[in-house]
Amino acid sequence: MSWWSDRRIFLSGGAGFLGSIIRRNLESRQPAAFFAPPSTELDLRDAHATRAYLEQARPNLVIHCAAVVGGIGANRSHPGRFFYENAIMGIQLIEESRRVDVEKFVCLGTICAYPKFTPVPFHEDDLWNGYPEETNAPYGIAKKALLVQLQAYRAEYGFNGIFLLPVNLYGPGDNFDLESSHVIPAMIRKFIDATERGDDEVVLWGDGTPTREFLFVEDAAAAVVAATERYNGAAPVNLGSGREIPIRELAERVARATGYHGRVTWDTTKPNGQPRRALDVSRAEREFGFRAETPFEEGLRRTVEWYRGQSRGMNPRIPA
């Protein structure tokens, strides 16, 4: 707690899926000051507004979680928006943080920054060995540019910025809108809706052969907080569970968790996305002692229970 007692923290994306949990975690540590303005109060795309806010708040620690995100469909529909808004928010926030002498900047990147055919498990040194999977590339490259900026600012200005690469997140509070959600919430919603309607078929994208790794959102928040306190290196760091699962097997697990007993049909006219995705997570454990704690079955159960308890008035949601 003593490390946090003199921190004046600025958190972007504090109303989002991951950011809201990070916010609760940080507030419990009783920092000297805490700022988490929603997007309606501070538009990070506006450099002048960002500068004015930081000059007034004078944070000495900035954690950048804000992002415009979505699944394969959203990435295909909005490549320009995903590139521009993610790049410009991060570039300007890093620059304005440097200008007001922020002591430490924590930036969340994305696993989508890795090359399409990265050898499994993904090691941080593989980031520059190829082009990202096409549907994710604009978002992934926009985020990866922030790593370059932080490393350049460290070299020229001595700016202490760290870059974290969380794998696919899931958990209570996720976005379940079918137009913009990621794979686990999309499957949960499809299976539950089909069960309630009495449908005997659910159609899923691709052929089910790709693999993914998932990290429960509360574990991810704990990792970010641990890295904020203990890590000060220039090298990027993967945040994950270290467990790979094929999408076809994932569908079977989600079907069991939701009680769906119909058949699953794979729409092979739709893209698969990256063929495999699994991380080498040894650097996070070595550098700041992080290891994922939540078993996948428990995290999935909690996510399904949360969704069942929510109202059905869902709209596309972008983290603030």
Active site members = 139
Closest CA to 166 of 115, 129, 126, 112: 112
User: What is the chain's Cα-based Rg?
Assistant: 19
Which two structure tokens, joined as six digits, stand for 166? 């969380």
Bridge partners of 34, per DSSP, are 9
- Residue partners of 23: CB distance under 8 A and separation at least 6: 11, 14, 34, 36
Helix, coil or strand: residue 37: coil
106: DSSP letter: E
C-beta separation of 319 from 21 below 8 A: no
SS (H, E, C) 75-98: HHHCHHHHHHHHHHHHHHHHHHHH
Q: What is the residue whose two structure tokens read 């460290």? A: 154
119: DSSP letter: P
Which two structure tokens, joined as six digits, stand for 84? 């521009």
C-beta separation of 281 from 238 below 8 A: yes
Which two structure tokens, joined as six digits, stand for 306? 């949360």
DSSP line for 187-237: HHHHHHHHHHHT-SEEEEES-S--EEEEEEHHHHHHHHHHHHHH---SS-E
